[in-house]
C-alpha cells in the first residue's frame, strides 16, 4: 500500500488547477448507459473511482474509447450484461448509480448492495422505493438488488424523506426514459446534480427545475449521443484553499468556479482568508496570518458540504480559538479526529459534534487514512506540523484527488509518495 511522507514546510504559495469533479463524473458516466449512441465525456479526472467505473462498464460489455484531453467515448448500446458485481461495488459505493440507467434502458439490473462504509451506514432504500414507485419489480436477495420492469418505467411523483444526492441522480436518470412525467420532490440541489441534468439535456432529455428542490422530468423514447465536459471539482478546490489557509499561505486555484462554493468561501473569509475570484479562478491569501477557528454545521447544498468537514477540522486544529463542528449528514464521519489528536490536536468529540481548540503547532506522526476526506485532512495537518508525517492507506485519497502530491509540490509542499 502506497504511503505519503509529508514534512511541514511553511506557507503554501502558487497556482494549481482543479480537476473535473469526481461526484459529477461518476453519475455522468452512468448516464451514458441511457443513450443508444456514443457519448463523449470531457474533463474527466484521473482517479481510482473513474477507473473502477470504466471497469464496471467494461464488465457490461462496453469498450470505452479514450480521446484527447481526458475525454472518453462510451457507447451504451454495447451493453450485453446489466450486472454490477460485489467486487467492484464494494470498492466504490457510487456504482449504485448504474441501477436507474440500466433498468430504464434495458428493463433489468442486478446491482450488488453497496453496504455501509467508514463514514456511516449509507442505505439505498430511497433509490429502491423511488424505482418501485415508477413500476419496477425489485427484490433484494443474496446481497443484490434485482430490478425488473416490463416495458418502460412509468412517470411518478416521488418525495424523498431525506435529501439524497445519488438517490436524486438515480431517479433523475431513470425518469428520462420513463413513460410520462416524473416529479422529484425534496430533491438534492447539489451542483453535481445540476451538471448531470445538463448532460442529460444535451443527450435529449426533457428536464426542468434542476438546482431547486423540485425536478420535473418528461420521459422521452430515446436519448442520443453528445459531447459534455464535467464541471470543476468544488471539494478539491476547497481542499487546496483550506491548505493555503492552514499554512498561512497564498494559493490561486484555476479551472474552477466560485459561484458554487459560497458556504465554504464565506467560512474561509471568517477564518481570516482574503478571497478574490474571477472567471475560472479563486485565490485565498492569508498574508502570513494564523487562521481563526470557525463554527461549521454540515447540511445539504447550498449549506456547508459534509465533504469539506474533515478539512475544516484540520484547519481549526491549528487556528486561534475554539471552533465547533457539527456533522448532520453521516453518523460516523469523524474518524480523522483520533488521528489528528495523535498529531497533537485538541479535539473533543461528543456525538455528532467536534469541539476543536486550536494549538500553535501540530507534530508529525505516523497516521492512518480511513476515508477519502479524512485523508485530505491528515495531509493538510501534516503540512503545518513540525517534522515528518507518514500517511498510510492513501488508496482512499487516490479515489478523489488527482495527482495530489504533484499538485501540492507545485505549491511548495514537501510531500512524496512511497510505494508500500
Ligand X SMILES: CC(=O)N[C@H]1[C@@H](OP(=O)(O)OP(=O)(O)OC[C@H]2O[C@@H](n3ccc(=O)[nH]c3=O)[C@H](O)[C@@H]2O)O[C@H](CO)[C@@H](O)[C@@H]1O
Q: Provide the 3-class DSSP secondary structure of residue 229.
A: strand
Give the residue among 221, 205, 209 at the shortest CA–CA distance from 185. 209
CB of residue 130 to ligand X, shortest distance in Å:
9
CB of residue 305 to ligand X, shortest distance in Å: 6
396 is an interface residue for ligand PEP by CB under 6 A: no
Cα-Cα-Cα-Cα torsion 304, 308, 309, 312, nearest 10 degrees, comes to: -100
Q: Is 117 a catalytic residue?
A: yes
19 binds ligand X (CB under 6 A): no
State the binding site for UDP-N-acetyl-alpha-D-glucosamine: 93, 122-126, 307, 329
**In the complex, what is the shortest distance from the CB of residue 287 to ligand PEP, in angstroms, rounded to a whole number?**
30
Which residues on adjacent β-strands are paired with residue 258? none
- If the CB atoms of residues 167 and 248 are measured against ligand X, the closer one turns out to be 167
- Give the span between the Cα atoms of 377 and 49, in whole angstroms: 19
Residues between 23 and 42 with contacts to ligand PEP, criterion CB under 6 A: 23
The number of beta carbons lying within 10 Å of the beta carbon of residue 88 is: 17
Binding to ligand X (CB under 6 A): which residues in 328-357?
329-330
Cα dihedral 45, 49, 52, 54, rounded to 10, equals: -30
Residues 124-163 that bind ligand X (CB under 6 A): 124-127, 162
Segments of 58-126 assigned E as strands: 65-66, 72-75, 83-84, 108-112
Cell readout for 8 is 511541514
Nearest 10 degrees: CA dihedral of 353, 358, 364, 367?
0
Closer to ligand PEP by Cβ: residue 23 or 82: 23
Number of residues that bind ligand PEP (CB under 6 A): 7
State how far the Cα of 342 lies from the Cα of 123, in Å rounded to an integer.
31
Residues in contact with ligand X, shown as a per-residue x/- string from 82 to 121 under the rule CB under 6 A? ------------x-------------------------x-
Give residues in contact with ligand PEP (CB under 6 A). 23, 93-94, 307, 372-373, 400
Give residues in contact with ligand X (CB under 6 A). 23, 26, 94, 120, 122-127, 162, 164-167, 192, 306-307, 329-330
Which residues are known to be catalytic?
A: 117
Amino acid at each position: 500500500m502506497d504511503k505519503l511522507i509529508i514534512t511541514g514546510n511553511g506557507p503554501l504559495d502558487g497556482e494549481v488547477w482543479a480537476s473535473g469533479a469526481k461526484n459529477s463524473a461518476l453519475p455522468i458516466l452512468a448516464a451514458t448507459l441511457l443513450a443508444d449512441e456514443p457519448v463523449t465525456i470531457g474533463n474527466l479526472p484521473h482517479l481510482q473511482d473513474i477507473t473502477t467505473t470504466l471497469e464496471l462498464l467494461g464488465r457490461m460489455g462496453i469498450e470505452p474509447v479514450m480521446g484527447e484531453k481526458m475525454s472518453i467515448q462510451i457507447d451504451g448500446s454495447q451493453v450485453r450484461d446489466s450486472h454490477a458485481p460485489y467486487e467492484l461495488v464494494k470498492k466504490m459505493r457510487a456504482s449504485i448509480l448504474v441501477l436507474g440507467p440500466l433498468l430504464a434502458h434495458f428493463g433489468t439490473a442486478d446491482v450488488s448492495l453497496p453496504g455501509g462504509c467508514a463514514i456511516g451506514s449509507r442505505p439505498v432504500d430511497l433509490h429502491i422505493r423511488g424505482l418501485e414507485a415508477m413500476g419496477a419489480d425489485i427484490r433484494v436477495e443474496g446481497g443484490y438488488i434485482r430490478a425488473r420492469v416490463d416495458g418502460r418505467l412509468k412517470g411518478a411523483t416521488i418525495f424523498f424523506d431525506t435529501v439524497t444526492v445519488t438517490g436524486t441522480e438515480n431517479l433523475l436518470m431513470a425518469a428520462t426514459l420513463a413513460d410520462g412525467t416524473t416529479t422529484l420532490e425534496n430533491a438534492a440541489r447539489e451542483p453535481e446534480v445540476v451538471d448531470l441534468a445538463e448532460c442529460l439535456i444535451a443527450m435529449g432529455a426533457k428536464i426542468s427545475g434542476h438546482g431547486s428542490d423540485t425536478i420535473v422530468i418528461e420521459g422521452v423514447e430515446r436519448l442520443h449521443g453528445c459531447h459534455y465536459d464535467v464541471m470543476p471539482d468544488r471539494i478539491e478546490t476547497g481542499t487546496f484553499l483550506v491548505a493555503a489557509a492552514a499554512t498561512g499561505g497564498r494559493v490561486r486555484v484555476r479551472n474552477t468556479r466560485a459561484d458554487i462554493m459560497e458556504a465554504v468561501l464565506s467560512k474561509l473569509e471568517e477564518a481570516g482568508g482574503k478571497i478574490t475570484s474571477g472567471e475560472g479562478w479563486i485565490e485565498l491569501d492569508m498574508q502570513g496570518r494564523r487562521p481563526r477557528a470557525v463554527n461549521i454545521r454540515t447540511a445539504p447544498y447550498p449549506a456547508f458540504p459534509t465533504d469539506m468537514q474533515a478539512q475544516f477540522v484540520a484547519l481549526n486544529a491549528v487556528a486561534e480559538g475554539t471552533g465547533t463542528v457539527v456533522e448532520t449528514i453521516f453518523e460516523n464521519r469523524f474518524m480523522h479526529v483520533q488521528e489528528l489528536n495523535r498529531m497533537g490536536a485538541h479535539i473533543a468529540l461528543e456525538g455528532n459534534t467536534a469541539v476543536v481548540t486550536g494549538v500553535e503547532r501540530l507534530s508529525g506522526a505516523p497516521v492512518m487514512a480511513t476515508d477519502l476526506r479524512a485523508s485530505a485532512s491528515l495531509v493538510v495537518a501534516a503540512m503545518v506540523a513540525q517534522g515528518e508525517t507518514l500517511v498510510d492507506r492513501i488508496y482512499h485519497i487516490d479515489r478523489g484527488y488527482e495527482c495530489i502530491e504533484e499538485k501540492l509540490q507545485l505549491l511548495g509542499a514537501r510531500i512524496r509518495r512511497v510505494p508500500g
